[in-house]
Amino acid sequence: MRKIVDLARSEGIRSISDFIGARYGKSFSVAALVTLITTIGLIPYISLQMTAIHYLSEFTIRTVTARTGTNIC
């Protein structure tokens, strides 16, 4: 791990796509492809997080409504 950190500092690498692009001769195309794949891969994760927030807010509203007997919506 230390070797990777030292390499990143010496090459000025800031992201995973920069690192992988640097491994292939500082290829911008490879770095752009890695960024695109990563972004597409994050979409389902973000959707899952938003769904969890929705369910948590519904649960909280129902719990507060049931305990207080008032409708907060």
Domain locations in the chain as residue ranges: 2-68
Instruction: Record the tokens describing residue 55, joined without a space.
Output: 């369910």
DSSP state of 41: H
Q: What is the mean pLDDT of residues 14-32?
A: 86
What pTM was computed for the model? 0.60
Say if residue 60's pLDDT is above 70. yes
CA-based nearest residue to 35, from 17, 13, 14: 17
Say if residue 5's pLDDT is above 70. yes
Q: What is the mean pLDDT of residues 10-33?
A: 86
Say if residues 22 and 11 touch (Cβ distance below 8 Å).
Answer: yes
pLDDT in tens, 24-38: 888 888 889 999 999
Strand, helix or coil at 24? coil
The pLDDT score that the predictor gives to residue 73 is 59
CA-based nearest residue to 22, from 4, 41, 40: 4
Round the average pLDDT of the chain to a whole number and report it: 88
